[in-house]
Every structure is written in structure tokens, then in C-alpha cells.
Structure 1
Amino acid sequence: MQPFVYNGLPSRVVFGRGTLSRLSEELAHLGCSRALVLATPQQQQQAQDVLQQLGDKGVGVYANAAMHTPVEITDDAMQVVKELDVDCTIAIGGGSTIGLGKAIALRTGLAQIAIPTTYAGSEMTPILGETRDGEKTTQRTLDVLPETVIYDVDLTLTLPAGMSGTSGINAIAHAVEALYARDGNPVIALMAEEGIAALARSLPVIANDLSNVDARADALYGAWLCGACLGSVGMSLHHKLCHTLGGSFNLPHAETHTIVLPYAVAYNAPAAPQAMMRIQRALGCDDAATGLYDLGRAVGAPSALSELGFGINDVDKATAMATRNPYWNPRDITVDGIARLLSNAQAGLRPQSERGEAL
């Protein structure tokens, strides 16, 4: 066995059905009593319900969280934090809301409780991505890791089919990259394969039966595992591409991850054969890239970046940005290779894992 380093992350996880009822108990565990509830505009009512549940431990709602965590939104939220003398935040929603909670924590040191309602996985990572002047940058620091995560399966039962599928495959992307991360280790590899398998078997069921509680629980379990993987090891090509497309082209987060993942896997396949074997075993397929592509079709997800408004004329600009300061990757990053990858993803061509040299 190769030597490795494993760092466990200091977060508390409460998982089950009806666990939202334990929120006040978890606030007390953190020693907090003036909580600001965060949400997107679409989930404002849900945030108001949480505020009501908190009683005098809740001081307000800020429901302007936005995709890709724009710094101007964070600056606005900071004014509310100061005005209300907040001592912690409670983020209920997906990656946009949880990202805002992280951005506030980075600036204030306030404790966080995250209550995810999608499968994105941001709640389990010490990673913050922020967008300023049309460019998204990321940083990794324990200062943004939520202290407590409450997973309540019941909160996912109303998640629409489309978002269930794309946020689930977004979670799978975290585990996929963990399998060939430079700082990977056997513990994370086990979690990654189990997380991929749990989501791969549950997402098609959910696509046909939104109220299937067993499948919902399996998917949320898989999302937790995949998020923990991303939180423990580094990111590679797939995440660099998605950060570029999201931050600079304003493409929707989960859908972009879903579309790009099979092509990034196809690109990296020659350099990461052991990771490909684990992905194939988890998916129950013979080729990792096509297996991921087919999973997207099984859950009704978009298959081409063109469906999100990314044009063929955008490929050169995106390629230049993604290759300017690339993340570490198991396979060398080339301008021609990334341009071809993005062109294929723009058109939605069926991918096939590479067996030879660079694209």
C-alpha cells in the first residue's frame, strides 16, 4: 500500500427523518442564541418557517442568496449581520445559500448550521467559491466549514425531479475527482465509491417517484459521502472547468457539473485507470465516461452546454481561462485538449473514455 495522509474534518452531522426538529438543540450545543436564517428568494418561506421554529433564538431572515456567491450579496448580508447582532447563521437550501453562510463565516468567524435541501454537498467542505467582477475564485480554509450539518430526508421530498438529478450528479463529481486527487487516500476512496453507488442507484428511482423515501434517504446519504470527499482532498480539471463556466459565463451550477463531468472523466481516463475501475464498479458499467453520461439521460438532465446558453464561440475564451491557472490534474492540461473537451460538451456528443494520449 502506498503511504498516505488523512485529515478528518471537525464537523457534526445529524442525519435522519424529522431531524429539523432538533435545530434549537443544536443551537444550544453551539452556545448560540441570535441566529440569522439564510435562504434564496425562492426559499424565503421555508426560511421564515425555520425562524418561527426558533422562537426567541432567531433574529431574522436574509433571503437574497445567489448562485456563485457574488461578493456584493455577501456585503449586503454583512450589514444585516451587524445590525441584528447575529451570533450564528443557519443556511437552509442548496449550494448558493450554504455558500453565503460560508462567506459570512470567513468575514466574521460566526458559527454555522447548514441544512441542505439538495444533494450539492457544499455543507461538508471547507471550500468557498466567490464571484467578483465576473470571475470565480475558490479558497480552502477551515474557517468556512459549517460546525453542524442537519440532514433531514423529509426536506428533500419536494425537491423537483430536474434538480434532484443534477444536484445528485454534481455530488458524484466530488467523489469522482477524489478518486484521482493528488492527496487521495484509501479512506476517501472507499467513501467516494460508496457515495457514487448510492446516488447512481437512487437518482433514477427518484426521477420516476419523487416521494420514494428510501431512495431519497439513499441519495442524501450518498451526497453526504461525496461532499465529505471533496472536503478532504483537492480538486482537479472538472471543478476548474465548472468554476470557469459558472463564474465567468453565469451557467447554472448543478447543470454545468452534470454536463461537464463525463467529458472531464473521458479526458482523465488514461491517467487514472484505478479511479476509472472504481467509478465503473459503482455505476455498474463498462466505461466511466459513458456511464456518467447515461446516468444523466436516465434522470432527464440536460446533455449539452448549448442548452444552458454556452455557444461554440465561447469555447476559446473558456479554454483560455480554464488553462491559465489550472488546478492539479492527473493528466497534463493542454489548450487543444481542453478546447476539444469543451466543444464536445457544448454539442453534447456522447463521450468515450480515452485510451491513448492527449485529446
Structure 2
Amino acid sequence: MSRDFVHESRPGRVVFAVGARTRLPEEIDRLGLRRLIVVSAPTHKDLVAELSDALGGRIAELHPHATMHVPVAVAERAVARARQVGADGCLAIGGGSAIGLAKAVAKDTALPIVALPTTYAGSEMTPIWGLTSDGRKTTGRDPLVLPSLVVYDPELTVTLPPRSSVTSGMNALAHAAEALYAPDGSPITALMAAESARSLAGALPRVHADPRDIGGRSEALYGAWLAGSVLGATTMSLHHKLCHILGGTFDMPHAGTHTVVLPHVLAFNLPAASQARSALKTALGATDPASHLFHLAQDLGAEMSLKALGMPDDGLETVVEQVLAAPYANPRPFTEADIRHIVGNAFSGAAPA
């Protein structure tokens, strides 16, 4: 078999260990940073206080104002504060909202990012930024927003509730699944994506059964790291397009939306992506990956209906219009009728077909 591919490795340092947060001061010193602006959601107040105490005088500002989908106004305020306090780096503590806000700061200021993830979102491993304005989410790629340092500590995910853990993990699994049929994938990204899917699918039932299972948490975070890495290295397809539209337009929960949509897009795409289908069958130990992921998430308590997550009854027309206005690369061409079928099933909570 002949091979034809391009693979580009991303810069950045990853520290992964149980208790890795204790290494944060020395790792920040290694980067030479002295005046950090710390961005987080208000819900991480206690963790931010703990880490800030350890970092001492390296903190210039605490900015606990991260919100879902990174509204432009929120990003502008964070950028302004970073400049006002003379920050030389941005420390993001939390999930995709905090890391997304740090990226918005870095995009406009070129400050290096240090990320301490507390979920399985994977954004910390990508050069992808996203901003929401007037009900529309805009995304782009810029090497400035790729974190210089990511510290993964599985203990920081222990307080993530079981249902949130499941949807966060399914969000990560979506990155891996779409990387398997990405037009710019490589043998390396394919290996990483398959290993990510295997790790996450095996870890989520453990985490759901016992949120304090540190082995399960480590395996899930490992899978999320791999998923984020392939998200940053490849072009995502229809699934991510739909989720960006749904989240940005209707302010729907990011991870929950990914969880609902993924099985339906896979049911549509995998018949046209034989290598991806084969890889997912092996990774998941399932003959029908789309159905398997739907029932896995459902059995673990995830909500599987877009309607229940907040999509309005008349929202389908808006979704169809936006998808068709700016098509993504996808292994299978899609029509308006296809989008209506995929989103309609996801809206009602029906099993993928």
C-alpha cells in the first residue's frame, strides 16, 4: 500500500501525572513568567485560590469571568485587563470556557498560555480559537493561541460530576472520531485517534460508577489529551460544524451538544469512511460504532435530545441555513434533506439511523 500524507507536530510541553499541579510553580519558572493573569470560571474559585497561594508573587490578576462559547464582550474585557496589569502570561484553570478565554487573550496580546484543564474538552492541545457574537460562533486557527504548557492532573477532574464527566468525555471522543476521516489525517493522527477512542470509551463507565476512581480519571484524561492533539492537527467535519452552530446560535451546552450529535453524524458518515469505521469498531469493540456510542452515553445518564438541551422547536431552519452557507470538508456529501434528517433525529432523541 502506498502512503501519501503530511504530518505536522505541534510545539508545546505536556506534564501529565497524578498531583502534577504541585509542579506548576517550577514549570512556570521554566517559562520565565512572572506576571500571570489567571482566567477561570467563577465556579473554580477554591481551586484558583489554592493554586494562586502556591504561585505567590507570580500572579498579577485573578480574572474569574470565563463563560461558555467565549462571548466577544467577555473576551474584550479580559484582553483589556491583561494589558492594564502588564501580564506576561495567561494561566487558564478550568474547562473549555476558561481555556477559550485564555486563547482570546493570547490572540490579541501574544501572551503565552499555561493551561490546567479540569475537564476532557481537549481545547488546550489545539491552535483553534472561537468567539461568539450576535448568536454566531466564529472559529479560526492561530499558532499564538496554542498553549506553551499544559499540566494534566487527573485529581483535578475528580469533582467533575458523573453526567458532566460523560458528556465531556464524549466531546473529546468526537474529536477522535472526526480525526479518523479527516482529509488531512496521517498515520500518526489515526493511531492517536483510535487510542483516544479506546481509552475514553473504556474509562467513562468507570468514572460514572465511581467518580473518585483515579485510575479511570487518568485513563479518561489520557484519552482527552490524545483527542485534543488530533483536533489540533486535523480538519474537523460535519459534526463540529453542527455543534458550533447549535452552541453559538442557541447558547446550548457545549459538551452535551457534542454528545447528542455525534452518533447521528457517525451513522451518516461512516458508510463512506471505511478505514475510520474499521478503526472505531476495533477501538470500541462494537460492530456499529454510532449505535454503540448513543447507547453508551444514554446508559450513563447523558441527555440525548437537542430539544431537552435548549434547541427551540423552530431552530432547524436556522441550522440548515448556516450549515449550507459554509460547508465543511466531509467524507460524504450532504444535502439539505440529510441535515434535516440528522438534526431532526438528534432533536427528538431518537437512536441514530
TM tier, shorter chain?
over 0.9
Distance in 1, matches of 2:142 and 2:124, equals 13
8 Å Cα contact 1:168/1:199 also seen in 2: yes
8 Å Cα contact 1:237/1:264 also seen in 2: yes
TM superposition shift of 1:311: 3.2
TM superposition shift of 1:51: 1.5
Distance in 1, matches of 2:74 and 2:142, equals 21
SS of equivalent residue, structure 1 residue 313: coil
2:10 corresponds to: 9
- Aligned pairs, how many? 352
Distance in 1, matches of 2:211 and 2:247, equals 28
2:217 corresponds to: 216
TM superposition shift of 1:218: 0.4
Aligned AA (1:98): I
Once the two structures are superposed, residues 253-302 of structure 1 have per-residue CA deviations (whole angstroms, 9 ceiling, x without a partner) of 00000000001111112211110111121111110110110121132111
Distance in 2, matches of 1:121 and 1:162, equals 18
Distance in 2, matches of 1:320 and 1:128, equals 23
SS of equivalent residue, structure 2 residue 160: coil
8 Å Cα contact 1:249/1:310 also seen in 2: yes
1:118 corresponds to: 119
1:184-203 → structure 2 map (5 Å cutoff): 184-203=185-204
TM superposition shift of 1:243: 0.2
Distance in 2, matches of 1:105 and 1:162, equals 31
Aligned AA (1:281): T
8 Å Cα contact 1:311/1:346 also seen in 2: no
Aligned AA (1:46): L
Aligned AA (2:158): L
Distance in 2, matches of 1:133 and 1:50, equals 35
1:231-246 → structure 2 map (5 Å cutoff): 231-246=232-247
Once the two structures are superposed, residues 235-262 of structure 1 have per-residue CA deviations (whole angstroms, 9 ceiling, x without a partner) of 1000000000000111110000000000
Distance in 1, matches of 2:313 and 2:272, equals 28
Distance in 2, matches of 1:130 and 1:311, equals 22
8 Å Cα contact 2:120/2:168 also seen in 1: yes
Once the two structures are superposed, residues 310-336 of structure 1 have per-residue CA deviations (whole angstroms, 9 ceiling, x without a partner) of 133211211111221011111112111
2:298 corresponds to: 297
Distance in 2, matches of 1:176 and 1:119, equals 15
1:144-159 → structure 2 map (5 Å cutoff): 144-159=145-160
2:82 corresponds to: 81
Aligned AA (1:325): A
Aligned AA (2:283): A
1:84-163 → structure 2 map (5 Å cutoff): 84-163=85-164
SS of equivalent residue, structure 2 residue 155: helix
8 Å Cα contact 2:316/2:343 also seen in 1: yes
Distance in 1, matches of 2:282 and 2:222, equals 18
Distance in 1, matches of 2:172 and 2:13, equals 19
Q: Which runs of 4+ in 1 moved over 2 A?
A: none
Distance in 2, matches of 1:48 and 1:197, equals 35
1:1-359 → structure 2 map (5 Å cutoff): 1-352=2-353
TM-score normalised per structure 1 = 0.96
Aligned AA (1:150): V
8 Å Cα contact 2:75/2:101 also seen in 1: yes
TM superposition shift of 1:185: 0.8
Distance in 2, matches of 1:252 and 1:188, equals 27
TM superposition shift of 1:20: 0.5
TM superposition shift of 1:113: 0.3
Distance in 2, matches of 1:201 and 1:302, equals 20
8 Å Cα contact 1:51/1:60 also seen in 2: no
Distance in 2, matches of 1:188 and 1:145, equals 18
Once the two structures are superposed, residues 104-124 of structure 1 have per-residue CA deviations (whole angstroms, 9 ceiling, x without a partner) of 000000011000000010000
8 Å Cα contact 2:39/2:98 also seen in 1: yes
TM superposition shift of 1:3: 0.8
8 Å Cα contact 1:35/1:60 also seen in 2: yes
The unaligned stretches of length 5 or more in structure 1 are 353-359
8 Å Cα contact 1:37/1:50 also seen in 2: no
8 Å Cα contact 1:323/1:333 also seen in 2: no
TM superposition shift of 1:137: 0.8
8 Å Cα contact 1:326/1:333 also seen in 2: no
Instruction: Report percent identity of matched pairs.
Output: 46
TM-score normalised per structure 2 = 0.98
SS of equivalent residue, structure 2 residue 311: coil
Aligned AA (2:73): E
8 Å Cα contact 1:127/1:144 also seen in 2: yes
TM superposition shift of 1:92: 0.6
TM superposition shift of 1:44: 2.3
